Structure 1
Amino acid sequence: MRVAGRLKHRKCEGWRSRRFHRSQSYPTGSKLFLTFKYGDSTPYLEVFMKLPGKAIVWLIYFDASVTRRLGRRVPRELAVEAPTLEELVKACKRLNLSFQVRDSARYPRMWWGRRGYVIVDKSKPKGRLLEALALEMKRLRSEKDSYGGVLEKTLK
């Protein structure tokens, strides 16, 4: 590693997380990232765990205006225009899924766009789960449009 034109020696404690020693094996399914803390030039190894039995469902998966290349995961016929996180939460509630909401996160491919995702318990494969959520969001939109939002106010 070069710092100010000269080679800096790597410190052992700087290259791995404080949780794991080099003799320990890292957990399966984990991702290792070499990151820097602000103001510190010494890199350290960070371990991010996958969430077993859970699926991360980004809001952008259901946006009809987004291409598949940028992140849409459902067919355009099932996608909705400009979905909101509230609609996704209502769809999860209607399907009786247990979930956690992260509203401040942004999708990495479209960091400037809409934000938020939901962590859902994986009861079926992710593709089928996304299709079920998209269908439910589509139904919510059609009910809202046909009743002019009156049904939504009575359900609250």
Structure 2
Amino acid sequence: MEKGLILYPCYFDAKLMRKEGRRVPKEQAVFAPATPDIERALASCGVKYRREKKSHPSWWWKHEGRVIAECEGPKTELLSKVASELKKISPKTPPRK
């Protein structure tokens, strides 16, 4: 099995609570992140990655996919870098009620 850091879109979703799967602070999260957005963020950080058609275990019915980043170092640092790039790429506003 190849090593890598697994990133799911729910890690960066501002509408989710921490216990629902969000891994970054609410201020760094974006609304409705998609796997291609995460790929662009990783590419702009210079991190190699590959995409898989797998779902997060808690959200198995969504079929959003996941990205495996080939990166050394702590996952929290990578999450922070990707979150800041996602803010630049897709500064989506919250949906109106």
TM-score (norm 1): 0.55
Residue 86 (structure 2) pairs with residue 131 (structure 1)? no
Question: CA separation in 2, counterparts of 1:114 and 1:73?
Answer: 19
Q: Which has the larger radius of gyration?
A: 1
Partner of 2:56: 107
Instruction: Let me know the Cα RMSD of the aligned residues.
Output: 1.8
Letter in 2 for 1:136: E
Identity %: 34
Of 19, 36, 51, the residue aligned with 1:69 is: 19
1:123 positional shift: 2.5
Question: CA separation in 2, counterparts of 1:61 and 1:140?
Answer: 16
Letter in 2 for 1:98: K
Partner of 1:19: none
Q: Which structure has more RCO (C-alpha within 8 Å, separation ≥ 6)?
A: 2
Question: CA separation in 2, counterparts of 1:135 and 1:107?
Answer: 22
Instruction: Give the count of matched residue pairs.
Output: 93
Question: CA separation in 1, counterparts of 2:32 and 2:61?
Answer: 14
Question: CA separation in 2, counterparts of 1:115 and 1:86?
Answer: 10
Contact 1:60 1:114 in 2 (8 A): no
TM-score (norm 2): 0.86
1:114 positional shift: 5.4
Question: CA separation in 2, counterparts of 1:69 and 1:132?
Answer: 21
Gaps of 5+ in 1: 1-48, 146-156
Question: CA separation in 2, counterparts of 1:79 and 1:113?
Answer: 19
1:112 positional shift: 2.5
Q: Which has the higher helix share?
A: 2
Contact 2:54 2:63 in 1 (8 A): no
Partner of 1:81: 31
Partner of 1:95: 45
